[in-house]
Structure 1
Amino acid sequence: MRVWFTAARAWLLAATVVMLGVSASAEERPNLVYILLDDAGYGDLSCYGQEKFQTPQMDRLAKEGMRFTDHYSGSTVCAPTRCSLMTGKHTGHTIVRGNREVKPEGQAPMPADTVTLPRLLHQAGYTTGMFGKWGLGAPGSPSDPAEHFDVFYGYNCQRQAHSYYPTHLWSNRERVELDGKTYSQDLIMAAALQFIRDNADRPFFCYLPVTVPHAAMHSPESAAAPFRKKWPQFEDVIGRYSGPQVQNPVAAFAGMMTHLDTQIGELLALLEKLKIDDKTLVMLSSDNGPHQEGGHDPEFFNSNGPFRGHKRDLYEGGIRAPLLARWPGKIAAGSTSALISAHWDILPTFCELAGATIPADTDGLSLVPTLLGNADQQPQHDYLYWEFGERGRSQAVRQGNWKGVRRNLKANPKAPLELYNLASDIGETTDVADKHPEIAAALLQLMQAAHVESETFPLFD
C-alpha cells in the first residue's frame, strides 16, 4: 500500500471528523463495490422495464438484493455527479457543479484538502481503487485521482473518455500509451478484477465509474452483431461522436449494455470464487439520465422510462437513477425500497459500514437501516436539491411527492417555479403551481436555503 501523507493532504490533521468508529470490527466491515454507469437512463436496465434487450446480471443484483425506485443522481451531467458522490454533498454545496474543462486534458480540480469518500475509507483501513472515468482534476493537479485512491486505472479526463478506443489511459500517475484500437472498457474491467483479487484478504473499496453507455456508441462487434440482425432498419444510420464512426448505433448501444452486463457477471463470479461474496456489498447506479448523442435513440429504447427529460434536464428523466444493492445474507433478496434518496447518501452509508465517522457537513443520510431491513429506523430527507449552470441555468427540489423546477435563471433570476405532483403526475406534464401557491412558495424557500453561490459555477450573476 502506498504512503500517501503529503503536504497536500494536511487535511488529515485538521479533519476532526475522520476517526475509526467502534461499532464495526474488521470482521464485520464489508468490502464495498460501487458501479456507476455513464448516461444510462432509469429504463435502461431490464429490471427497471427495458424490453429491447436484457441485463440479467444487473437484474441479478435486484433479484438477490434490493431495488430502489426513488433514487436520484447527484446532478444531470458527469463531473458534478461525481463530486457529489465523492463528497456527500448536493450541488448547492459542492465545489464542482458543472463540466468545466482544462486543456490539454482534464477538468477543474477540487481543492487539495477536499474530504472525499476514498480518503475517509482509506483512513478507516480500507484499500481503495478506482477504475474508469474521473473528471475531477487534471493529471498532476491537486485533485489527480491518485491523490484520492490507492490504485487508479482509467480515464482522467471526461473529454478523452468520449472514445472507447483512446490513445492512452492512466495507471496511477503513469500515462499508459495505447494503439487506439483496444476497447478501453475491457482494460478497465480487467484492472478492477485484478484489484479485487489482490485485496481479497482485506477490506477494500472498488469504485467502478465505467464509461458505458456514454457516447460514442462503440461496442465490441461480437456484442453488437445479434442486434444488427434484430434491427436491420437502422443499418443505414451512422453515429458520429468521437473516435471511429458507428454504423447502426442503435445496435451498438444494446451491444454496449449487454457486454457490460456480462462483465458484471464476471465480477460477481469472482467474488464467489474468492469466497468473499457474503462479505461484499455491491451497488450499481447511473450518473444521470440518458443522452441523445452519437446516434443513440433513447425514445426507441424508452431509456428514461415514464419520466420527462434527458441528460442536462432537471426533470425526472435527467436525474432519476437506478440503484441496486446486493449483500448476500444482509440485504433481503428481491426487496424493493421507495426511499427518496440520492448519490450524496452513498458517502455516509459507506462510512457507517466501514466504521468511519461521517463528516458533519454532509448533505447525505446513511441508507444502512433500509439496506439491512430496518426501514422503520431510516432517517428521511426533508428535501432533495439540485442546481445546474448550463442550458440557461436551472434549479429543482423534491419534498415528498412535490417537485419544483425553475428554468432559464440566467435570463430571469426570478423565473417562476413549476410545480408537479409526482404521486399523480410522474411524467411532470402538468404544472400545478397556480393551484397550490403555498406549496410552490415553500419549495422556492427550500431552493433559496439550499443554494450557496459559487464563483466558479454561478447560478445567478
Structure 2
Amino acid sequence: MKRFFSFLTLLLFSALPALSQTRASQLQQPNIIFILTDDLGYGDLGVFFQNQRQQLADRREPWHYTPHLDRMAASGAQLTQQYANAPVCAPSRASLLTGTHQGNAHVRNNQFDKALENNHTLGTVLQAAGYSTVAIGKWGLQGVDEVGPHWPAHPLKRGFDAFFGYMRHRDGHEHYPVEGVYGGPKQVWDGYENVAATLSKCYTTDLWTAKAKKYITNHVQGADAAKPFFMYLAYDAPHAVLELPTQEYPKGQGLRGGLQWVGTPGHLITTASGQVDSYVHPDYRNATYDDDRNPATTETAWPATYKRYATAVRRIDDGVGDLLQLLKDLQLDENTLVVFTSDNGPSLESYLPAQYVPNMPTFFDSFGPFDGIKRDCWEGGLRMPTLVSWPSRIPTGRVVTTPSIFSDWLPTLADVARVPAPARTDGVSLLPSLTGQGQQPASLVYVEYFEEGKTPDYQKVELNRRGRKREQMQLLRLGDLVGVRYQVAAASDDFELYDVVKDPAQRINLARQPGYEHLQQQFKVKALQVRHANPTAKRPYDDALISAVPAPATASPGFSWKYVQGDFPWVAAESQQPASAYGTTKVVGGKELRHKQGMVYYTGYLPVPADGVYEFSLTTTGNAFVRLHEAALLDADFSYVAGTQLTQRAPLQAGLHPLRIAYLGSKKRASYLTLQWRKAGESIWRPLAPVMTTGQP
C-alpha cells in the first residue's frame, strides 16, 4: 500500500511539470511575481556590494551572503540605477502600486495606513489584462477611517483577487504574529478573516514564502490554471525587529522540498515548530571580525544584532531560491517575470532589547557605495537593489544602467501583459532596457519627502551630512546629475548637484563650481513643473509660480490632435501608436470626438497672460486625463461619474505652458468634453485658447 501511494505521488509530481509546460507554451502573457523587501539596502546583496567586501577580505569589514539572489542576478538583469519613490515604506509602496511619483501621489510623507486611492493599481491593471492576482505579506495602505476587516482600501478592493498577510503598518514590525516576541500579538488576514490564532511559531518570512508556494502550486492545479497570475509578495523583513527563525531552512527546494504549507492549525508551515527566535545561520554563528582594526590582536565575535540581521537577509535569500526552484519544477520559469527589490534604504531602527548593540547599517555598509539610509534622499536611502528574471526574454548577466524609479513598474508590467498603461501613470516601460530590444523613453526620477529627524552621525558618511536636519527634502535626476535639497524653505533654494555615475558617494557638489549656474536653474524649474500640491503633505514651494517654457519656433492657434483607433480599457497613456486621423482644433470637444472606438490626444501650449493662480474645469460624458507640464491636473478616468465637473488650481508664470489631454469616448453616450479656465477670483469660465507647434502630432 505504501509503495502504491508513493507511486501515485510520483505520478502526480511528474505530471504537473508536463501539464505546466503545455500551458506555458500556450500563454503569451508571462506570470509575474514582484518581490518587495522591507529596509533592505542596496549594499546588502552580494552581487551589488557584499561580494566585493568578501573579495577584499578585509577583516575589519564583515560581509554576509545572498547566494540565491546572486544566481538570480546572473541569470537575468541587474538594475543598478533604480530608485524608490520615497525613502520610507508607505509612500514608496503606494507609488509602486499606483505608478505615480511623489509629486503626483495620494500617499506621501509618513502617511502609514492611509487608504490607497481608488484608482488604477498594479492589481486592477493586471486583472483587466486577464491575470489572477494575489497580494501576500505587508500591506499598510488599507485606510484608518474604518476598523477591519472591511477597510476602504483592503487589497481585495484594490485589484487583488486574494490577500494573505499583515494589513496594518504596525503589525509589520513584528515577525511572529502569535508569540509577539518584541511587539505583542498581531493580525494576519486571509481575505476578510483574521487567522492569526492559527499561526503559532510562524516566522513571517517563512510564512509568506510558504503561502506563495502554495498559491502557485494551487494555481497550476486550479480552475484558473489557464490564466497567468500576478503575485505581489511583500516581505516585512529585515525590518528593525531582527527576529530569528525557529530552525534551519528545510532541505531541498521547490515542489518537493524547502518550505511547505502543512495546513494544520498551530502547525501551518513546516518550520512552525522548535524554539521561537532561536536560529542563527551557521555561516554567521561563530563569525568574527577585526573590531579594533589591529590584525595583531584576537578577532571579536560579531555582535548578536548583526548575526540576526545577516540571518534575516539570508532567510529571504533562501525563500527566493525556493520560489525560483518551484517555478522550474513546474516548468513555469521560462514564462515568469520575477522582480526582486526593496522599499527603501537600510534602517538604523532596532526593536531589540537593551542588551543588544544598536542596529548600525555601517557594520555591513548596507547602503553600499553611497551615503544615506532610510528617510534620506541621498542615494543610499533611495537607490534600490533590483533584480529581474525572465529567462525567455531577458538575456543572462544583463546590467541595466539606465536610471529608473518604482513608478515605472506599472507601465512596465502593463507592457509585459500587453495592455496600455493608464494615462495617470508617471512612469515609462522598462521593457526595452530589460530585453535590449527597442529604445526606452527617459524615466522621470523625482522624490519629495518630509522628515523631522536628522541624518546619522556616522564616520563613513561625508562630514557635512552628519547630524544634518532633514525636514523638507527633494531629489530630481536629469541624466547623470542628481539634484538634492534638504531643509527646503523656498522654491528658490539651491540644489546640491552631483554626477552620481562618476561620484556615487556624492562627495563633489558641482553646484559650487563655475559653469553650473544654468543647470541650477534648470533643476529649480523642472522641480515645479513635474508636480502638483497635496493639502495633506504641504511643501514650501506649493504656491511658487510654475515656470513657462520658451516659445516654439512656429506656432498657430488651437490644439493639435490625433485619433488612435482601438478598444481601450481606460484612458491610455500616449505612446508611439500610429494616428488613424489627426488635425487641429481651436477648442477641445469638436468633430474629432466623433471617433468613439479609440483615444483622442490633444497637445498645445497654454498662453498665460499674467502671473497668478489659475483654475481649470473639466466636464465630459466619456473619460479623460489632463496634464499641465508633467503634473497631473485633472483625472476623469477610473472612478469618474459622467457629467461631473472637476476643478483644479495651479500657480502659473506668464508665458506658455504645455498642456496634454487624453480622451476616451463613451460607447453609451454622445461624446462631450469641455475644458475651461479662469484666473482665481473670476466668476466666468472661458474656453482654453492654446497655441500649437504643428498640425500633425
**Which residue number in structure 2 is paired with residue 319 of structure 1?**
382
Superposition deviation, residue 232 in structure 1: 8.5
1:177 paired with 2:177, answer: no
Render the CA deviation track for 1:145-188: whole Å, top value 9, x for unaligned. 12121111111122111110122311111111236743122111
**1:152 is paired with a residue of what secondary structure?**
strand
Corresponding residue number in structure 1 for 2:481: 402
**For residue 422 of structure 1, what is the amino acid of its counterpart?**
V
Could you say which residue in structure 2 is the equivalent of 1:371? 434
- For residues 26-80 of structure 1, give each alpha carbon's deviation from its aligned partner in whole angstroms, at most 9, with x where no partner exists: 7210000111111111110001011411111111111111111111112100011
* Structure 2, unaligned runs of 5 or more: 1-24, 55-62, 178-184, 246-277, 292-302, 351-357, 453-470, 543-697
- 1:390 counterpart letter in structure 2: E
Aligned position for 2:611: none
Q: Give the corresponding residue for 1:283.
A: 339
2:231 is matched with which residue: 184, 199, 206?
206
Question: Partner amino acid for 1:264?
Answer: V
**Counterpart amino acid of residue 209 in structure 1:** A
1:343 aligns with 2:422: no
Task: State the secondary structure of the residue aligned to 1:83.
Answer: helix
**Pairing 1:347-426 to 2, within 5 Å after superposition:** 347-374=410-437, 376-381=438-443, 383-391=444-452, 392-409=471-488, 414-426=492-504
SS of structure 2 residue aligned to 1:43: helix
Match of 2:41 in 1: 41
CA distance in 1, matches of 2:114, 2:192: 17
Alignment of 1:86-105 (within 5 A): 86-101=97-112
- From 510, 514, 536, the counterpart of 1:432: 510
Which is greater in Rg?
2
Whether 2:539 is the aligned partner of 1:459: answer yes
Find 2:328's aligned residue among 272, 276, 281: 272
Report the secondary structure of 1:217's partner residue: coil
Query: Quick one: which of 296, 304, 316 aligns to 1:248?
Result: 304
- Higher mean alpha-carbon deviation, 59-68 vs 221-230, is at 221-230
Question: Hey, what's the Cα distance between the residues in 2 that align with 1:29 and 1:398?
Answer: 33
Is the 8 Å Cα contact of residues 397 and 404 (structure 1) preserved in structure 2? yes
Contact 2:445 2:476 in 1 (8 A): yes
Residue 37 of structure 1 contacts residue 212 of structure 1 at CA under 8 Å; is this kept in 2?
A: yes
Q: Distance in 1 between matches of 2:135 and 2:512?
A: 47
Residues 91, 111 of structure 2: 8 Å contact kept: no
Q: Which structure has the highest strand share of the two?
A: 2
- Residue 218 of structure 1, aligned match among 229, 243, 252: 243
The residue aligned with 1:297 is 360
Residue 129 of structure 1 aligns to a residue whose secondary structure is strand
Letter in 2 for 1:207: Y
SS state of the match for residue 199, structure 1? helix
SS for the counterpart of 2:512 is coil
Q: TM-score, normalised by structure 1?
A: 0.86
Q: 2:78, 2:283 → 1: CA distance?
A: 29
- Which residue of the partner structure matches residue 116 of structure 2? 110
Q: Is the 8 A contact 2:136 2:234 kept in 1?
A: yes
Structure 1: distance between partners of 2:315 and 2:324: 15
1:145 to 148, 155, 161: 155
**Residues 96-140 of structure 1: CA deviation (Å, up to 9, x unaligned):** 012224xxxxx11023x3111101111111000111111111442
**More displaced, 123-132 or 411-420?**
411-420
In structure 1, distance between residues paired with 2:473 and 2:191:
36
Residue 449 (structure 1) aligned with residue 460 (structure 2): no
CA distance in 1 between partners of 2:333 and 2:502 (Å): 40
Q: Which residue of 2 aligns with 1:330?
A: 393
Amino acid at match of 2:191: N
Distance in 2 (CA, whole Å) between partners of 1:423 and 1:153 is 40
Equivalent residue letter for 1:380: A
Q: Deviations over 1:324-362 (max 9, x none)?
A: 111113211111111111111110111111122210121
Higher relative CO (CA 8 A, sep ≥ 6), structure 1 or 2? 1
Q: Which runs of 5+ in 1 are unaligned?
A: 1-24, 102-106, 235-246
| Matched residue SS, 1:403 | strand
> Contact between 1:217 and 1:296, CA under 8 Å: does it hold in 2?
no
**CA–CA separation in structure 2 for the residues paired with 1:205 and 1:423:** 34
2:213 aligned with 1:193:
yes
Q: Distance in 1 between matches of 2:326 and 2:414?
A: 25
CA positional deviation for 1:233: 9.1
Question: What displacement does 1:141 show?
Answer: 2.3
Structure-2 separation of matches of 1:297 and 1:209? 24
Distance 1:114 1:136, change over 3 A: same
Aligned to 1:126: 131
Q: Establish whether residue 160 from structure 1 lines up as the match of residue 185 from structure 2.
A: no
Amino acid at match of 2:485: R
Q: How far, CA to CA, are the matches of 1:370 and 1:152 in structure 2?
A: 31
- In the alignment, is the contact (CA less than 8 A) between 2:337 and 2:388 conserved in 1? yes
Residue 413 of structure 1: how far off its partner (Å): 5.9
Query: Does the CA-based 8 Å contact 1:389-1:458 persist in structure 2?
Result: no
Preserved CA contact (<8 Å) 2:337 2:390: yes
SS of the residue 2:202 aligns to: coil
TM-fit CA distance, 1:310? 0.5
Q: Counterparts of 1:109 and 1:346 in 2: how far apart (Å)?
A: 20
Per the TM alignment, residue 208 of structure 1 is displaced from its structure 2 partner at its CA by 0.8
Residue type of the partner of 2:32?
A: L
Which secondary structure does the structure 1 equivalent of 2:231 belong to?
strand
- 1:28 is aligned to 28
2:71 equivalent among 50, 54, 60 = 60
Decide whether aligned partners of structure 1 residues 185 and 233 sit closer, same or farther in structure 2, where only a CA change above 3 A counts.
Answer: farther
